[in-house]
Structure 1
Amino acid sequence: MRLRAARALIAGAFVGPVVLEVDGGRIVRIRPATGEEDVDHDVVDGVLSAGMLDLQVNGSFGVDVAAADAEGWRTLLGGLAERGVTGVEPTVITAPLPDTVAALERIGRARDAFAGESVARVLGAHLEGPFLAPARKGAHRAEHMLAPEPAHLDTLLARPAAREALRTITLAPELPGAIEATRRLTGEGYVVAVGHSDATAAQVHAAGDAGATMTTHVFNAQRPLSPREPGVPGAVLTDDRFFVGTIIDGRHLDPSVVSLVLASAGRRTVGVTDAIVTAGTDAGEWLDFGGQPVANDPHGLGRRRDGTIAGAGIVLDEGVRRMIAAGLDPAAVLAACTENAARSLGRTDVGHIAEGATADLVQWDAAWHPSRVWIGGRALTPTAR
């Protein structure tokens, strides 16, 4: 396949016109376009980017990743792909440890079952809990939270299928045993993210010394930035070892705060949704999430019955539109959802328009809606949801 684009996001900037040559599901060559090429598809208006990667998705379209069956996974992964999300880290929130292990195993089975299909790729599981600070629990259930002591890590990683499915783990670095756990987990190849934490900046930097490289939803459910204590946000925004996960629904963070994150962290900014089961559903429709009911409010926020924010009720493409509509730089926003996300996982094969990368691509129209998506060079047509 040959694909020509007037503008394409490459290495954080819009360039073009370019021609992409795809063979065997991968981009094998990128070259300047002359306009005389014989191509299979021409992106004349809009922009071509790599497929987006959402590294924090608890669910969408009525599906909870912690309990999804085969039909649910197809609904979730297919729906995300239609919206331009071609890779996802299914995220499991705090639950009893045996339930968490079982959820990791199901995620691993889903990854294998849907590999090669034209749906979003499962990049590995993101475990958000139980190693969190009760003082910053957010919508998590404090009664199931644990300290990351060796015995609990042994239980979590004892079963090979769960161990192999896991990719990212959020923990609060101030908890007893957290620094030692961070060294162990990063030494075994996992990404450790600081989140749901009341840590001081010094404790966050200590986690960085131990190998932590990610932040879970900066500014949300963490010790805030203050004049004499930078807290979690101040630490990760100024420490180049950390990628900075940033919810871009425009509600968890005001777009001006997202702009500040981009200005501070630059290409360490990773745009995520923190989407839950309500993403892609109607406002006011009550669904179960983590053992408690949630519904979207009129602004697309998933809330518990008491009003507590439980997660975002949007898909990542809507977040892109909201940020661009608020005046943020489109190239920076898209890079946060593609290239930056991929680099935070150490991936060069997805999230990039680059020679050798998988041909997971999105054509964006002038209103920043995905008008065409390719998974491994195979086109699918997004449908209205």
Structure 2
Amino acid sequence: MPSGEVHAWNILNRKPVIVRWDKGVITELTTTDKSPNQNKWIGPPLVDLQINGFAGVDFQQDKLSSEQLIHATSELENSGCNKFFFTLITSEWELMIKRLSKAKQLRDRNTKLQKNIVGWHIEGPFLSTENGYCGAHPSNLMLEPNEARLTKIREITGKDPVLLTMAPEIESGLAAFSKARELGFQVSIGHTNATENIIRRVTSGGQTGFTHLGNGCPTELRRDDNILWRALDNGSLTYSLIPDRWHVSPTLFRILHRLINNNSIYYTTDAMAAAGSAPGKYQFGHLELEVGTEKIVRLPGTSNLAGSALTPINCIHYASEMLRCDWQVIWKNYSTIPAKFMSLENSFEIGAPAEFVEIKTSPNNSIDTISIHSH
């Protein structure tokens, strides 16, 4: 539909709004005194910066097809997310490069994939080898983030946005953060046991993220000095959280929201192939993981988590449930805030693309249906 209008409640400010668009662009967004249907809401689509796979499709494979990517993308849209970062985790470097190159080619050949895969997240192999801090990433495959490797990532991705998660304390780590910024990457600290001083040196160089705070560290930490305290003490980081109730407990989730400026928190599912699928066995890179009915993804025989089976809309549900607030309150943490962190277009304003979610709620304000409109 090249033009049209919607009268609904604005998710971001909870006020009645009339939205009109023409030729795929929002031309009017007017707050009105006239109340719309009580259960109809409109706002920006969800944005996920860390998708390792979805709906039975593992992105960490050598035979990924266009059909598989389109399937995963369509299922993400059905859950309210129409923009995401295709994420690769630690593997043999040559395999990672081949997988990134193939995914880039598949994306560039398909209009739908170009629209939905808006960037690339490289999480590994430039991470800590310390037990507990490497998480599900194989420590024997970690590498030094030298200039040649970083440049290779940029050669493959061209001008696309790239989020690079690294541990700054490893060999050449600090220099790598500086070089990554020169190459136009957005950098994020993760799977790390960096000291307070090293974290400060990284953040002094510019905007820095912290990948899935509360994950990528041992289950037991020193109470007086640990990576959580150091990350929180910095104050200038942008933190991602996985609101699945397992990576971060409900109590810690609430505490983090009290300690951190809300505009410095964004959500991610860290989804792998089991997300949006039935319980069972799923491949995740080198690993075969079994996901039970509770949808917790663990390394076999351990208590270590390995990605999540969380869907985007459940991410919103669990986050609001843990914070004991309405889902509208935290919508921006999974839409406009991650988009801003990566300088993506995802605004809900005049002149922006006419892409939005339309939500219908039940009388108790729970989400009944969600659909994405792209005009």
Q: TM over 0.5, yes or no?
A: yes
TM-score between the two structures when normalised by the length of structure 2: 0.88
Q: How does 1:280-359 map to 2 (within 5 A)?
A: 280-283=276-279, 285-307=280-302, 308-326=304-322, 327-347=324-344, 349-350=345-346, 352-359=347-354
- The residue number in structure 2 matching 1:25 is 24
Instruction: Name the counterpart of 2:139.
Output: 142
Q: CA deviation at 1:227?
A: 5.5
Counterpart-to-counterpart distance in 2, 1:364 and 1:225:
41
Cα distance in 2 for partners of 1:221, 1:58 equals 16
1:9 aligns with 2:3: no
Counterparts of 1:123 and 1:338, CA distance in 2: 13
Structure 2 matches for 1:199-210, cutoff 5 A?
199-210=194-205
What SS is found at the alignment partner of 2:122?
Answer: strand
> Which has the larger displacement, 160-169 or 296-305?
160-169
Post-superposition offset of 1:263: 2.2
Within the candidate set 237, 247, 250, 1:252 is matched to 247
Distance 2:289 2:34 in 1: 51
User: Structure 1 counterpart of 2:265, which letter?
Assistant: T
Cα pair 1:4 1:33 within 8 Å, conserved: no
- Which runs of no fewer than 5 residues in structure 2 stay unpaired? none
Specify the alignment match of 2:168 in structure 1. 173
Give the alignment of 1:1-385 within 5 angstroms. Answer: 1-5=4-8, 7-10=9-12, 14-35=13-34, 44-67=38-61, 68-116=64-112, 121-135=116-130, 136-157=133-154, 160-165=155-160, 167-222=162-217, 228-229=224-225, 231-265=226-260, 266-283=262-279, 285-307=280-302, 308-326=304-322, 327-347=324-344, 349-350=345-346, 352-366=347-361, 367-375=366-374, 377=375
Cα offset, 1:120, TM superposition: 6.4
Question: In the comparison of the two structures, how many residue pairs are matched?
Answer: 360
Q: Which whole-Å CA distance do the structure 2 matches of 1:345 and 1:180 have between them? A: 21
Instruction: Indicate conservation of the 8 Å contact 1:278/1:294, yes or no.
Output: no
Q: What is the rounded CA distance, in whole Å, between the counterparts of 1:232 and 1:107 in structure 2?
A: 33
**Alpha-carbon offset, residue 124 of structure 1:** 0.8
Whichever residue aligns with residue 134 of structure 1, its letter is T
How far apart, in 2, do the equivalents of 1:174 and 1:360 lie?
A: 41
Deviations 1:46-73 (A, max 9, x none): 4322100011110011111233211110
Deviations 1:60-105, CA, capped at 9 Å, x for gaps: 1111123321111011101101110010001100011111112222
> Quick one: structure 1 residues 149 and 369, their matched pair in 2 at CA, closer, same or farther if it must change by over 3 Å?
farther
Q: Which amino acid aligns with 1:161?
A: I
Deviations 1:256-293 (CA, angstroms, capped at 9, x unpaired): 3222222222111101011001111222x112111210
95-104 or 42-51, which deviates more: 42-51
Match of 1:301, SS state, is: coil
SS in structure 2 of the partner of residue 286 of structure 1: strand
Answer yes or no: is the 8 Å Cα contact 1:78–1:120 preserved in 2: no
1: CA distance between counterparts of 2:145 and 2:31? 51
Matched AA of 1:288: Q
Inter-CA distance 221–345: structure 2 relative to 1 (3 Å threshold):
same
CA gap of 1:188–1:205, structure 2 versus 1, over 3 A, is same
One-letter code of the match for 1:79? Answer: E
Which amino acid counterpart does residue 9 of structure 1 have in structure 2?
I
- State the alpha-carbon separation in 2 of the partners of residues 330 and 208 from structure 1: 31
Shift in Å, 1:222:
3.4
1:35 CA drift (Å)? 3.8
Equivalent pairs: percent with the same residue? Answer: 21
Residues 44/96 of structure 1: CA separation in 2 closer, same or farther (3 Å cut): same
- In the TM superposition, residue 155 of structure 1 has moved relative to its aligned partner by 4.3
SS, match of residue 152 in structure 1? helix
Contact 2:161 2:342 in 1 (8 A): no
Match of 1:381 in 2: none
Task: Give the Cα–Cα distance (whole angstroms) in 1 for the partners of residues 161 and 307 of structure 2.
Answer: 21
CA RMSD of aligned residues (A): 2.3
| 8 A contact 2:147–2:179 mirrored in 1 | no
